Amino acid sequence: MPKLGIIVNPVAGLGGRVGLKGSDGPAVQQLALARGARPEAPLKAAEALGTLAPLAGGMEVLAWPGAMGADVCRQAGFDPRVGPAAAGGVTSGADTEAAARWMLAESVDLILFVGGDGTARDICSAVGERIPALGVPAGVKIHSSVFAVTPRSAGMAARRFLEQGAGRCRTAEVMDIDEDAFRNGKVCARLFGALQVPDADRLIQGAKVGGGPSEARVLADIAQGVIEQMRKDPACVHIIGPGTTTRAVKRHFGIPGTLLGVDVVWGDRAVAEDADERTLLKWIAGRPARIIVTVIGGQGHLFGRGNQQISPRVIRSVGRQRIIVVATQEKLLGLNGRPLLVDTGDGDLDRDLAGHMRVVTGYRHTTMCRVGL
């Protein structure tokens, strides 16, 4: 009988919609809660476990107590064997490491963990490449290639792996991101280590890839075309997401903007920088609006990776037809035929966003790309 270990970081992603760009540390978590953030990691864990429900009678599930796994396992219909730790209280990276070491000692076939890059780093510290592991994406920063593309994809990949009797694995990178630098608009990433993940092809995301130095001219062309469209409709509120491509739009428009935050432009000026979900909803209330986002290089995500402030409520208020996607042809070719992806946390919205979208790739030049789930 296969053994599956479940570890949930219940505060993963807590700072996303409130614009904190991470959730590491009690101080940041308390600030996120004070700003009205709600835990979403348990919901993503439940979505992944729902895909594994058909294996419930033929699989042993091990989980860490309480909110770190056992609760959501029971809610999903599993009867987990619970690890030797006291339930409740504030969780930390040390708890994640302890859970992973216990599961290693119990010889589970796969650790399915729910969190972001910080959680992946803790799993890596505890077990290295000695046991297969797979991440359910729930954090703000998800640069590592040890995560599935969506929670449902994580469940599908885990199910396939276990049904094959612990199938093939591949080595995947765990990236270490300096969260304080990230909040200040700097991406300081280094290779922290590696995990063995199920070899599940397109169910697993790639590592985040940045653009090359030759992109400046292309970015300027993309920006020029988008800005022409913006200035034709000065009454429209424009929500501009994070990234180097969208930053080119901000800079050519004449505003400094933020590299890793979501900014709001109305008329000829920036009215909000590094905005959270609440601020975005305030500015689009009763006004026509557009959302301008880019594609994450190497992964293909439009929503749900570093721009959680552009929440399902914001997207629904603006409408699918008023989303402008910008990306270089080089970035699209780097996806090797994989579709663009959305992981908003709202399954119905993700299905509504699926299909084909125009991507602005140059001055008055667009490419049709498929958006998958």
Position 42 pLDDT exceeds 80 = yes
DSSP 259-305: SSS-EEEETTEEEESS--HHHHHHHHTTS-EEEEEEPPTTT-EEESS
What's the pLDDT score for residue 335?
87
Q: Give a yes or no: residue 225 inside a domain.
A: yes
- Higher pLDDT among residues 33 and 47, named by residue: 47
- Whether residues 187 and 233 share a domain: the answer is no
Only one residue has tokens 């280094």, namely 190
Position 68 pLDDT exceeds 60 = yes
- Whether residues 71 and 199 share a domain: the answer is yes
> What CATH number has the domain bearing residue 143?
3.40.50.10330
Domain endpoint, select from 203, 238, 256 = 203
- Whether residues 145 and 281 share a domain: the answer is no
- Whether residues 110 and 58 share a domain: the answer is yes
- Whether residues 220 and 186 share a domain: the answer is no
- Whether residues 76 and 193 share a domain: the answer is yes
Q: Give a yes or no: residue 40 inside a domain.
A: yes
- Neighbour count for residue 183 (Cβ, 10 Å): 17
- Higher pLDDT among residues 134 and 164, named by residue: 134
pLDDT-based confidence at residue 60 (cuts at 50, 70, 90): very high
With contact defined as beta carbons under 8 Å apart, do 287 and 317 qualify? no
List 370's β-bridge partners, or say none: 356
- Whether residues 199 and 217 share a domain: the answer is no
Q: Give a yes or no: residue 263 inside a domain.
A: yes
Q: Which two tokens stand for residue 88?
A: 């409740």
- Whether residues 89 and 183 share a domain: the answer is yes
Q: Give a yes or no: residue 120 inside a domain.
A: yes
- Whether residues 150 and 218 share a domain: the answer is no
Position 122 pLDDT exceeds 80 = yes
To the nearest whole percent, how much of the chain has pLDDT over 90?
60
pLDDT digits (tens, 9 = 90+) for 150-205: 999 999 999 999 988 767 899 988 987 665 655 565 655 678 899 999 998 788 88
pLDDT digits (tens, 9 = 90+) for 91-104: 788 899 999 999 99
- Whether residues 305 and 160 share a domain: the answer is no
Q: 29 burial class (0-12, 13-18, 19+ CB within 10 angstroms)? A: buried
- Report how far Cα 101 is from the mean position of its chain's Cα atoms: 26
- Whether residues 86 and 183 share a domain: the answer is yes
- Whether residues 196 and 240 share a domain: the answer is no
Tell me the pairing of strands 269-272 and 263-266.
Answer: antiparallel
Q: Give a yes or no: residue 55 inside a domain.
A: yes
Full domain range(s) for residue 68: 3-203
Question: Cα–Cα distance between 34 and 138 in angstroms, integer?
Answer: 20
Mean pLDDT score, 214-223: 82
Domain endpoint, select from 170, 203, 236 = 203
Q: Give a yes or no: residue 208 inside a domain.
A: no
Number of domains in the chain: 2
Domain endpoint, select from 175, 203, 231 = 203
Question: Cα–Cα distance between 339 and 372 in angstroms, integer?
Answer: 6
What's the pLDDT score for residue 54?
87
Q: Give a yes or no: residue 19 inside a domain.
A: yes
